[in-house]
Chains A and B, each alone.
Chain A
Amino acid sequence: MSDILSVLALSDSIRHILSLVCAVVYLSAFATCVVSSGKLKKISSLMWGVGTAINGLIVVSNWAVNGYMPFVSMYQVLTFLGLTYYFVYVYISRRFSSEFLRPYFILFQGVILTGVFFMGKTASAWSFPPALQSAYFIPHVLSYMISYTLVAVSALICIISFFLKGENRLRHEKAVYHLVITGFPFMVLGMFLGALWANACWGSFWSWDLKETWSLLTVMTLSSYLHLRRTEAFGKYAKVLVIFAFIFEIITLFFVGMFDESSIHSYS
Chain B
Amino acid sequence: MNMIELKNINKIYEDNTVALKNINLVIRKGEFIFLVGPSGSGKSTFIKLLIKEIDESNGNIYIAERNICNLKSSRISQLRRNIGCVFQDYKLLSNKTVFENVAFALEVIGKPVYEIKIRVPQVLKLVGLYNKLNSYPHQLSAGEQQRVSVARAFVNRPPILLADEPTGNLDPGTAEGIMKILSRINLIGTTVLMATHDRNIVNSMRRRVIELEEGEIIRDQKRGVYGD
Is chain B a partner of chain A in the same complex?
Answer: no
